[in-house]
Structure 1
Amino acid sequence: MSNMNFSKAYCKSCYKCLRSCPVKAIKFENEQATIDEERCIECGHCLTICPQNAREIKSDLDCVKTAIYTGKKIIASLAPSFAGYFDVEQGMVVSALKKLGFSIIEETAVGAEIVAQLYNDYILDNKREVYITTACPSANYLVEKYYEEVIPYLIPRVSPMIAHGKLLKDKFGEDSFVVFIGPCLAKKSEFEYFRKDNVIDAVLTFDELNSWIMETGIEIYNIEEENFNINPYSKGQGFPMGGGIIEAMGEKLKQSSLSVITVSGMEECIEVFNSIKNGDLKGVLIEASACKGSCIGGPVMVKNGENYYTKLKKVKNYIKSRKNYNDPINTEIPTNIDFNREFTGKSINRIIATEEEITAILKKMDKFEPKDELNCGVCGYNSCRLKAQAIFEGMAETTMCLHYMRTRAESLSNEIVENTASHLILLDGEMNVREINPAAKAIFKIQSQNIIGKPISILIDDTDFKKVRETGENIIGKKVAYPQYGVVFLENIVYLPKQDMVLASMINIIAEEKNKKELMKVKTNTLNAAQEVIEKQMRVAQEIASLLGETTAETKIILTKLKKIVAGEDGE
């Protein structure tokens, strides 16, 4: 399929996409999310809920533009849900399409009405315990990939998009260029599946159409309304709403003995398919849609800002207004067009890990016994064991476990804080102690319970701490002495503005200070000794000056140099 994926530049490993995916078709490698095409059912909701908008969707827009520029007859099959997407009168959207270069604009509802009749005929001619509508490609992929046992219950007829495409090609010729425009990302892959049949030439989403309109500068709010090339009302317009397919099938269905079940959303589809698989449902017609609320709740629709019910009302009002055009047409099914299709199994080839392999993976995440398995679902998997299986299959990483990473980080940071020789104190904005490490507690001879939540001024002067918080200027390498504790600190104090906290790291340099004093004492004693030698030598020199002559002056110079060297001065 490869019609959509996550862009690598923006993934932040929040796992929101994986939590939303009902079939866990999202793979994480090196903290980057990618869609596994083999497992994906193309519902597209993982992309729409991404907080980073990290999505890449294949677009046919350039292909459509090229077809227009080369003079082809461009035909639009517009899904009825457009009335819920565009916040303008419906005729304005038609007018905008014609300004873009479309020659013919019809509603996909024309194909939907054909499909509704095809469903009725199939139910009449075939005896099945269960019938499942097949207008939703994502629901079809779900069955083909994960419920092969249910495939025989799929009604083997094309979707409204394909049915309408076939009708348009038959009517306007094989050389015409048919573009489906709708709310569904899965239609892009369905179009690829039927590409060889030359039914649909391109698929655009409402988002792509809207961007194109804005790009060309068409003022959609200020143009005159135009009508579709075919304007009659048909029940096929209700297909994008929950229960709309059932309603379109009309009296023929009501005359059958089938019970009707409408499901929308992947969770409901999975539940009903499990029931069919287990043999719990018989004598039913299932209207299945992958999106919650059917097509109006599709991935392109929910990204448009308004809530589902607002869009639903707009579509209903539009359908109601269409009744005013003409009487419903009696659409006959052309006998020269094949509307059949096949569904085949596309099961995922999975290797299930052994109990020993699962246990080994769990241990790598510090889950050594059942009570360690929190099954919180933060990583996107409903249980730690399912996550372990995903790791085994190469779909997930151990680092995706929030609790494991937090424990590891806390353990590492605690190890560093607990064992560092620096004296660490964390203060809140009110100069109250929030944290204090063992080294600091030892030097101040205090326990955590006696200082946590209390002012630092109880222990030491808080002037420097307040200054750092008030000015935002950090203090680095300042020497301060606290004789009452017998320490001299080299203090580093920094302000953490986001947390409104002050962090102090203080190194006790009392030993170095003592060493300096000892060194100065040695120097002083040496100087005193040198002075004594000089004085004695001078007395001796005076007594024997007559004998030594100039030697006296040389001796004085040498001894003076020795004195300067001992005192730390340059003897040169």
Structure 2
Amino acid sequence: MFERSKPQIVFTLTARCRDCYRCLRACPVKAIRMQNGQAYVDEKRCIACGTCIRECPQQAKTFRNDIDVARRLIDEGHFVAASIAPSFAAVFNKWQRSRLPSALRALGIRYVGQTSHGAYQISLQSRKIAEEEAARPHIATACPALINYIEKYQPQLVDYLLPLVSPMAAHARLLKEKMGADIKVIFIGPCVAKKSELNRPEVSGVVDCVLTFKELNAWLIQKGIDLSMCEESNFDEKPIHEAQLYPLPGGLIKTAGLNDDGLNLKLLRVDSIQGVRELLDGIGEGSEHAIIEPLFCSQGCINGPGVDPGKNLFDRRRDIIEYNEETISASVTPEPEDSALFKAAFNKTDTVGSPTSVTEEEIQKILAHTGKQDPEQQLNCGACGYDSCREKAIAVALGMAEPEMCIPYMRRLAERRTDQIFTTTPNGIIMLDAELNILGMNPAFKKFFACSDVILGRHISYLMDPAPFEKLITGVTQNLDITVLHRPYNLLCRELLYMLQEEKQIVGIFINITSQQEHEKKLKEIRSQTVEQANELLEHQIKMAQNIAQFLGESTARGEELVRKLMSLSEGDENTSR
């Protein structure tokens, strides 16, 4: 058997995830684990239905790409056969269908078969079992997402599953029975859950690779194969009338040749997650249904996550029906095969993280943390993705959700923080209506203007000059940044005033700069005194210099006079001695 790795089938592209919870709301089993604002797919819980892939508006959910696996099978020289799901008629236009076999052969596929051959055999076996065991209901097993769901979340219904493989596995067994066990089979269809089916013991080694139609188109582009350039050719297997309707609700019942006009209570067909869940909740011993044909995707396999959504859903349905009619003349009716070739068994898997493992005390503690201990506060709005506040609390206890996912809780938290800022800011804040009546004030404003809530509803002129506010109301300006001295309150404020246009309200923010002004005044006085003292010192120094200069001048003059007298006396003495 070809060795292949088994990474997670459905996963999140975290760079694209925008924390919108849409995937969680859509997931039928809540297999989305919220962690740090990212929505991760919990593989143990996931049933690979692909609902989140279709629903994510950011395309943050995707599935494992197995093109490399298919290419490797061909590159290694294996004889590769393709099993094409009958929903191909809904994916490709009429002219493309006739060229599809040639395109597949150009990829290296050597046998192009149709899964409808397996579907036909499974339909016959389903009818046979239902007729032999008419006392109990029988759930068809063509949809792998349904099998995953029942095994993981409704294990009590496992015994009602028809013990048959899917049409994909049935066709692969027919191909290997016909051409040898060594051939490799690639299934190509609309379903992502088929990839999970490879892990089942009855399918492992029978189907070697599963590709969606999206992957097939990508592969053709990679290889540069244009359908319009391919010649028309036939499949290696002829179509089977009615089995081509298998992708539609009721396709199995129709292929089995059972009389079903939609009103037969013994035969029940249901599609969509909601319909399937509601149906399964009512199944048990004594059920009046003989065959139940459930399909997880709304309108059946033609709406699978592996189909490009370019074509209208009901156009796809029309194309399936028309293709079935167009191929009547070329269709064949195979002989029934040995039932042993299609046997399967299913398991009763324990549900991961059952709600029963969470105690009531834990639930109440989490509800209390988000302010929902009172039942009246449990809005059950579903904004977080869970159907009820209690269900979300259980998810938090199981590590699948975060308390911050509750939007009403986060809103209250934000409002509480806003209120805290409003009440604790040192700046005064006032709100006025369009008539300049006071709507609200914070504690700082009340302190500034020595007022209380008693003045709520009064005109702003009760406290101050309304002129700046009137400029906003009349549209003279959109905002003001002014400095105003309120003498009655010995208060100097920088005032930031602006208009809330939608609410027709005015917000005023008052910043007390009185102490700052006084500080600047004192600083100015100090500067003035310093300059004055500096001038006095300078004048004193100048006078001192002048006095010193005068003294030095007088001293010099006296010195000169004394020297002259001494010289005169000296000259007199010399003359006398002569």
Q: Given the two structures, how large is their TM-score scaled by the length of structure 1?
A: 0.81
Deviations 1:124-160, CA, capped at 9 Å, x for gaps: 3334421111111111122111222211111101110
Structure 1 unaligned runs (5+)? 470-474, 551-572
Q: How far apart are residue 80 of structure 1 and its match?
A: 1.1
Structure 1 residue 402 corresponds to structure 2 residue 407: yes
8 Å Cα contact 2:240/2:333 also seen in 1: no
**AA of the residue aligned to 1:375:** N
Among candidates 507, 518, 523, match of residue 519 of structure 1: 523
Contact 2:113–2:237 at 8 Å: present in 1 too? yes
1:58 counterpart = 2:64: yes
Greater C-alpha Rg:
2
Deviation at 1:183, TM superposition (A): 0.4
Contact 1:358 1:385 (8 Å CA) reproduced: yes
The residue that corresponds to 2:45 in the other structure is: 39
Partners of 1:526 and 1:122 in 2: CA distance: 112
Query: How far 1:293 sits from its partner (Å)?
Result: 1.1
Q: Which of 4, 7, 16 is residue 10 of structure 2 equivalent to?
A: 4
Q: Give the AA of the match of 1:157.
A: L
Report which stretch shifted further, 228-237 or 193-202: 193-202
Specify whether residues 240 and 508 from structure 1 end up closer, same or farther in structure 2 by C-alpha distance, changes over 3 A only. same
Tell me how far apart the structure 2 counterparts of residues 219 and 505 of structure 1 sit (CA, whole Å): 68
Q: What residue number does 1:347 align with?
A: 350
Question: Contact between 2:243 and 2:255, CA under 8 Å: does it hold in 1?
Answer: yes
3-state SS in 1 of match to 2:257: helix
Is the 8 Å Cα contact of residues 417 and 437 (structure 1) preserved in structure 2?
A: no
1:379 pairs, out of 384, 393, 412, with: 384
Matched residue of 1:275: which SS? coil
Aligned residue runs from structure 1 range 124-273, under 5 A: 124-194=131-201, 197-251=204-258, 259-273=266-280
TM-superposition CA deviations, 1:254-312 (whole Å, max 9, x none):
9xx971111111211111111114x57334321111111111122223x5233321211
Partners of 2:14 and 2:38 within 8 A in 1: yes
Whether the 8 Å contact between 2:141 and 2:164 is mirrored in structure 1 is yes
1:73-84 aligned within 5 A: 73-84=79-90
Report the equivalent of 2:373.
368
**Counterparts of 1:182 and 1:4, CA distance in 2:** 16
**How many angstroms does 1:373 deviate by?**
0.7
Aligned-pair identity (%): 33
Shift of 1:419: 2.5
CA distance in 1, matches of 2:388, 2:39: 20
TM-score (norm 2): 0.80
Structure 1 433/78 Cα, relative in aligned 2: closer, same or farther at 3 Å? farther
Partner residue, 1:357: 362
Is residue 459 of structure 1 aligned with residue 494 of structure 2? no
User: Equivalent residue for 1:481?
Assistant: 483
Instruction: Specify whether residues 397 and 133 from structure 1 end up closer, same or farther in structure 2 by C-alpha distance, changes over 3 A only.
Output: same
Q: Does 1:304 find its partner at 2:309?
A: yes
Distance 2:269 2:548 in 1: 130
Structure 1 letter corresponding to 2:392: K
- What is the identity, as a one-letter code, of the residue corresponding to 1:263? V
**Aligned residue type for 1:205:** T
- Mapped partners of 2:537, 2:333: distance in 1: 130
Query: Does 1:15 find its partner at 2:21?
Result: yes
The CA deviation at 1:335 is 3.1
How many residues were matched structurally?
A: 526
Tell me, in whole angstroms, the C-alpha distance in 1 between the residues paired with 2:347 and 2:319.
Answer: 37
**Separation of aligned partners in 2, 1:547 and 1:214:** 106
Structure 2: distance between partners of 1:175 and 1:221: 33
CA RMSD in angstroms comes to 3.9
Counterpart of 1:295 in structure 2 is: 301
CA 1:251 to 1:370, structure 2 compared with 1: closer, same or farther past 3 Å? closer
Q: Distance in 2 between matches of 1:25 and 1:434?
A: 52
Deviation at 1:123, TM superposition (A): 1.8
Aligned to 1:563: none
CA offset digits 1:496-528 (Å, max 9, x no partner): 9xx9x9999774433212211122123334544
